[in-house]
Amino acid sequence: MSYGFKLLDASGNTTMSTDDFGIQIVDDFTVASGNSGSRTYTELAYHNTMFATTMSDIPGTVDHKKVSSHSFLAITITTNSSNVPTVSWVPSNTEGCRIQNGGYYISAGAPQQVKPDTRIIILAG
């Protein structure tokens, strides 16, 4: 690089550089299955790029006799005139292993349904 900023570790390896895309993970929170909502980030008015992504997180004990019904989210990001971003999420498709009337039973007991939470991870730069 002929200009800019570069950070090296003790071994001389570049750990960060202004040549990078410079995307930071700026928030991480969990929403219950089926919920919708939004968050506004006034402190991120500087942002040039923003993304939202997700991870699954099953609440309670991992039990192999439970089946999951995963609610996938539709996430949108909007900005106001001051470039303050708002992240909104609504349930999209629900899928996984569906429990339906007359569908099946678990011989060791009644069917249990677990609905994984969704961790929403916000990236910005």
Using CB under 8 A as the binding rule, whether residue 21 contacts another protein is answered as yes
Of 22-41, binders to another protein (CB under 8 A) are 22-26, 28
* Choice from 48, 81, 82, 110 touching another protein (CB under 8 A): 48
DSSP code of residue 109:
B
Nearest in space to 55 (alpha carbons), one of 87, 27, 22, 28:
28
Asked if 7 is part of the footprint of another protein (rule: CB under 8 A), the reply reads yes
Closest contact distance (angstroms) between CB of 49 and another protein is 6
The 63-102 site mask, x for binding another protein (CB under 8 A), equals -xx-xx-x-xxxx----------------xx-xxxxxxxx
The span from the first CA to the last CA of the chain, in angstroms, equals 20
Q: With 0-12 CB in 10 A as exposed, 13-18 as middle and 19+ as buried, what is 77?
A: middle
Cα 90 versus chain centre, distance? 12
Cβ proximity to another protein, 3 vs 81, nearer residue: 3
